[in-house]
Amino acid sequence: EHSLPYFLGTIERLNYPKDRMALWVATDHNEDNTTVILKDWLLKVQKLYHNVEWRPKEEPRRHRDEDGPKHWTDLRYEHVMKLRQVALESARA
C-alpha cells in the first residue's frame, strides 16, 4: 500500500499519449487499502486514457492455503497467472 502511489505516478509520467493507452487494473486478496487507493486514482485519471477496465474483488482477503501476505503458495501463483492471461486476452481484443 505504501509504494502504490509511487507506482501509479510512474504510469502517469510515461512518455506516451494517455489517450492511446488502455489500463486493465485488477486487485484482490487485499488486507490493506489497496482497493481504495486504486479506485480513487482511477476515478481521477480515467478520462485521460483510451480505456480503463477495473476489476476489484474484496473477498476473500487471503488465499485459503496461505499463512500471510508474503506466503506465495502454488494456488496464489496459479491465480496470478490466470489474471495475467485475462489481461493479455483483453489487450489483444
Alpha-carbon distance 74 to 63, whole Å? 10
> How many domains, the chain?
1
pLDDT in 10s for each residue of the chain, 93 residues: 689 999 999 999 999 999 999 999 999 878 788 999 999 999 999 999 999 999 987 766 666 776 776 777 888 889 889 989 999 999 888
Alpha-carbon distance 58 to 29, whole Å? 7
pLDDT at site 1: 67
Alpha-carbon distance 81 to 15, whole Å? 28
pLDDT at site 58: 74
**Residue partners of 86: CB distance under 8 A and separation at least 6:** 26
Query: For residue 24, how many other CB atoms are within 10 A of its CB?
Result: 16
Containing structural domain, residue 70: 4-92
pLDDT at site 14: 98
pLDDT at site 12: 96
